[in-house]
Structure 1
């Protein structure tokens, strides 16, 4: 029978890419990781790694082993969830990764709910964009990730991850000036005068940037992107002070009234999907269920706050 600890090292190598990254993540010496994988090759009786320049990659046989290791780990996570469910008090640690606007608008409220309902549950939160958080979830660095999906830009859906919808977050064209009612002009007509206007957008390579540029091109122009940042609060500040136009989601106001002029977006482009992601087999763990329930309640409380305004 193969050694599960060594199989997990092989799996980590697949997800993290280098022996050094595996060693750093697991607090091992790189030489120890290499030695353990060499011993696994001896156990299996076939070559598992092959050099590619200064790196290594998994052989076909190693990929087969990793697939079976994933299945074993999924069953172990299910077992852990069942054991936790059999206990009367929720303890342990829940590690959450969230992108910025959800971290500001929803996570603090969810943390308060969790503290009141499950005082023995330790919750850790890291602000991280989904592009990095989802691979980290697969590598077991987190238990729960808040992610987003922009219109027309569906995310990959790895078989080892499970998604659950949290909310639909309306998106708007944001312009300098006091908050007012949406203008009467069509969404495309509202965009066209901004052909030569400065824009702030998220960096190249992000799904939000791809969506935003495509929206401008659909209105007949290439946006003049002078400011790039993943910080949507900085997007808002630049719009408020007249430096740029932007596309902003409702969550950026954290339930408070908008502070800039908002305009509608073209049909089918006006909402991003916000959802939670966990590893397959982990969704029934009481800590995961408690975290998801708290986030759903935070969404409801935020919506109630908006109606009160």
Structure 2
């Protein structure tokens, strides 16, 4: 009989790439991980792992087994969630990741509310963008992610994750009172290449302004872009959620959707449902 905890180690090795990374994530020693994987090989009766350079990789039988391990681990998680739902106990650990503005506006007040309504739930907050947080959620390192999906940068989620839209957040032009189509020669501030904010800014400028923006300043911190705009050093596009009431801004025909994502296996888990409900309670009245 294959042991479920050892199957999880195999799945973790496949996703994380090294025994050291698995050990760090699961708070084991590398030698303990290697020992458990060796025991799994004996249970399976075939070689599951082989050396590859200075590291290791899964053999063909190992890749076959890891597919079954994914399904078995999801079923086990569903069983745990159903047991918790039957007991109705909101307890354990609730690990939330959120990008900066959502952490301030949604996650922090939700955690404060849960301290009163669910005192046995240990809430933990990590600031992080969806690019980092969603893989961590899939691996079980997080329990809920507050992410954003921009009109020009969308996410494709696996069936193992379930998304709940929270609100639409319009994109605003900051740092200029001129129409977007007149800002071809402006200096722009945006996120780093490949990030949702940067790709959306480029898409809006191309589609609605007819030009490729001259991005002079890059930071994934919206406060840096706001400071540049306030000093007349840059123009930028930012979601309304990150702007104070005193920031002059003009809407552009684009927006992002802010959403919560959980593991599908945890849909009925009381602690996850409590996290989601507390975050929804922080949404502005429509």
TM exceeding 0.5: yes
Segments of structure 1 that go 5 or more residues without pairing to the other structure are 178-182, 184-189, 305-309
Corresponding residue to 1:281 among 253, 259, 265 = 265
- Map of 1:202 onto structure 2: 191
| Paired residue secondary structure (1:126) | strand
- Map of 1:249 onto structure 2: 239
- Map of 1:297 onto structure 2: 281
Q: CA-atom RMSD, angstroms? A: 2.0
CA contact (8 A) 2:4 2:73 kept: no
Offset at residue 41 of structure 1 (A): 2.1
Distance (Å, rounded) in 1 between the aligned partners of 2:60 and 2:150: 35
Offset at residue 176 of structure 1 (A): 4.7
Greater mean deviation of Cα atoms: 136-145 or 211-220: 211-220
Offset at residue 207 of structure 1 (A): 2.5
The answer as to 2:252 corresponding to 1:265 is: yes
| Paired residue secondary structure (2:217) | strand
Distance (Å, rounded) in 1 between the aligned partners of 2:37 and 2:92: 31
CA contact (8 A) 1:16 1:139 kept: no
For the structure 1 residues 303 and 174, does the alpha-carbon distance in structure 2 shift closer, same or farther, using more than 3 Å as the test? Answer: farther
Offset at residue 91 of structure 1 (A): 1.9
Offset at residue 35 of structure 1 (A): 2.9
- Map of 1:233 onto structure 2: 223
- Map of 1:211 onto structure 2: 200
CA contact (8 A) 1:74 1:282 kept: no
- Map of 1:41 onto structure 2: 41
Corresponding residue to 1:223 among 213, 218, 221 = 213
Offset at residue 63 of structure 1 (A): 2.5
- Map of 1:138 onto structure 2: 138
| Paired residue secondary structure (1:171) | strand
Dislocated runs of 4+, deviation >6 Å: none
Aligned residues: 285
Greater mean deviation of Cα atoms: 198-207 or 74-83: 74-83
Distance (Å, rounded) in 2 between the aligned partners of 1:65 and 1:243: 56
Distance (Å, rounded) in 2 between the aligned partners of 1:233 and 1:303: 25
Aligned positions of 1:1-309 closer than 5 A: 1-87=1-87, 89-176=89-176, 190-218=179-207, 219-253=209-243, 256-260=244-248, 262-266=249-253, 270-299=254-283, 302-303=284-285
Offset at residue 13 of structure 1 (A): 1.0
| Paired residue secondary structure (1:281) | helix
Offset at residue 48 of structure 1 (A): 2.0
Offset at residue 168 of structure 1 (A): 1.2
Offset at residue 144 of structure 1 (A): 0.7
Q: Under a length normalisation based on structure 1, what TM-score does the superposition of the two structures give?
A: 0.85
Greater mean deviation of Cα atoms: 17-26 or 55-64: 55-64
Deviation string 1:219-263 (CA, Å, 9 cap, x unpaired) is 33222222211111222222222221111111113xx52412x22
Segments of structure 2 that go 5 or more residues without pairing to the other structure are none
| Paired residue secondary structure (1:273) | strand
Greater mean deviation of Cα atoms: 165-174 or 58-67: 58-67
